[in-house]
Structure 1
């Protein structure tokens, strides 16, 4: 059932009705909780898995010069929450430490029955950059290197926030000032474009998006070349920048949940082995640290996530 607020929003923005039709089509009338055609991340063979948030396969293939063998895979989600649900809804991962710059896992962890050896929240406290309102890729890398030393017999799942906005371009403003626009219906600039509140050239958005990936890749490469083991570089989902969705060809922006078109679910899968493989052993999880729910929500709002 749809709430009255959702009905009113749909009537105000007919594109939302088209998006909802597409979502129902792809999720088989909500019978799928995630994209079951996608691969299982935790069942794959790796010592270090580096996730680039919202990184399309085609953009990565064109701009990455990272060492290794690149192929294409299909994600279990078209946004981060769906990706997390598809991979971490259940499972015991006492051989894995999750180093994440994205607060979404903490926002929904009570809905998951997964258990990692440890979760390192890069976005909390000193990991957050107030200039760009995000976690910088170099910060994520430093936390990952520290975790690699601290946990020499664990797999590391390293979740970068880039190329997800806010973009790492100092002179871009529309992606950084949206939180202070009291007239906006939503904090998410992708939705503001979708609603017609922002008139932004897709080529300009694409250039910012690409630039954020370019800024992140050297820091990913530092991990690949600094720590021995089998590395993979992938993404949780892709992103749309004004391309047509399907089956109804509405122009889409961002990464709405439950729409399994190639631009949203095709992700890179780069494999690179540096030296000897890790000797990974599962052990009892560390005592979990609590995080403030209000801090999680505020960080997510700054990153443009909607409730």
Structure 2
């Protein structure tokens, strides 16, 4: 049987990708900092969150606590995970994750790994809604009060809720973790002096994708705020890596990079390090305000357990009314 030939677009993409990765590895600069270099009781990870975008949202919301930045050890999730969680076991940690890569690279390392992506994958958006991660973290905090939590939200990473596009990128990663093997089967054409590390950059102008990226951050943030209201001790909100919107990863190589996974460009590796202590929690936005924002988000995008529970409740009431009607004497049914 003959071996299937590589798709030409994918082959060109891989040549550029691995050449650039090799050069970056040879000239590696900007070493990162481990998440364990500082103390924390709970670590909240926003997937793919640039520091500059987070800083702007932090200021817009008027959030309390201390916002700093750190250089991440990873330029993509897998690298971040293996470079930070180097020990054989972390028996003091419960890891709640929306990202399938955590199962691929860290399975068996924690007191418990709660894979929210297995139970609350949203087929409409091909992602894990932030509400599902919040609720899983809340249950874990109550069930394991003596453990540290690592809570990994999938946003602001695409798929983007406001884009109206069936993004298969994360779904392909999910399938690859479930079945094994590569998740990239083909690739759209890309200009010779550009490289799309996420296929979505081939379908939309970068300005529109930046707007959708910011929207995703604004969608996940109220869930982070709500979780911070519930947790106790020192919490840190950070990210595994950032995102490139057409920046170069090496000055002497004229290739614009879109996405993440290659290089030590500051916009790719500089991530938020937002410290929230118990005394800061009183200055978080009021719970009513945060919950109102979440209700608006879940209503607009059809997200959250509450929506499904309300649907079941309405159906149960309708059935009860019908049953009551059918048991009434015929003369009373008018």
- Match among 114, 120, 124 for residue 114 of structure 2: 120
Please list the CA deviations of residues 79-109 of structure 1 after superposition, one character each: whole Å capped at 9, or x if unmatched: 0000011012334311111110111021234
Q: CA RMSD in A?
A: 3.1
Matched, 1:157 2:189: no
Matched, 1:215 2:219: yes
Match of 2:100 in 1: 103
How much has 1:177 moved relative to structure 2?
9.4
- Match among 42, 45, 57 for residue 51 of structure 1: 45
Match of 1:22 in 2: 20
Matched, 1:88 2:89: no
Match of 2:257 in 1: 252
Q: 1:216 to 1:44 in 2, by over 3 A?
A: same
Aligned partners of 2:110 and 2:106: how far apart in 1? Answer: 11
For structure 2, which runs of at least 5 residues remain unmatched after alignment?
Answer: 173-184, 189-195, 281-334
Assess if the C-alpha contact under 8 Å between 2:245 and 2:258 holds in 1: yes
Q: TM-score with structure 2 length normalisation?
A: 0.68
For structure 1, which runs of at least 5 residues remain unmatched after alignment?
Answer: 277-307
Please list the CA deviations of residues 9-49 of structure 1 after superposition, one character each: whole Å capped at 9, or x if unmatched: 67634xx54543432232228xx8xx881111134211110
Q: TM-score with structure 1 length normalisation?
A: 0.74
Aligned partners of 1:219 and 1:261: how far apart in 2? Answer: 29
Name whichever structure is richer in helix by fraction: 2
Match of 2:133 in 1: 140
Assess if the C-alpha contact under 8 Å between 1:229 and 1:275 holds in 2: no
Aligned partners of 2:125 and 2:237: how far apart in 1? Answer: 24
How much has 1:72 moved relative to structure 2?
0.8
Paired residue secondary structure (1:212): helix
Please list the CA deviations of residues 188-239 of structure 1 after superposition, one character each: whole Å capped at 9, or x if unmatched: x854366xxx352111000000000000000001111222111100000001
Match of 1:267 in 2: 271
Aligned partners of 1:224 and 1:178: how far apart in 2? Answer: 27
Assess if the C-alpha contact under 8 Å between 1:36 and 1:76 holds in 2: no
Please list the CA deviations of residues 166-202 of structure 1 after superposition, one character each: whole Å capped at 9, or x if unmatched: 1121x5216369989xxx8239x854366xxx35211
Aligned partners of 2:102 and 2:169: how far apart in 1? Answer: 25
Match of 1:279 in 2: none
Aligned partners of 2:160 and 2:6: how far apart in 1? Answer: 29
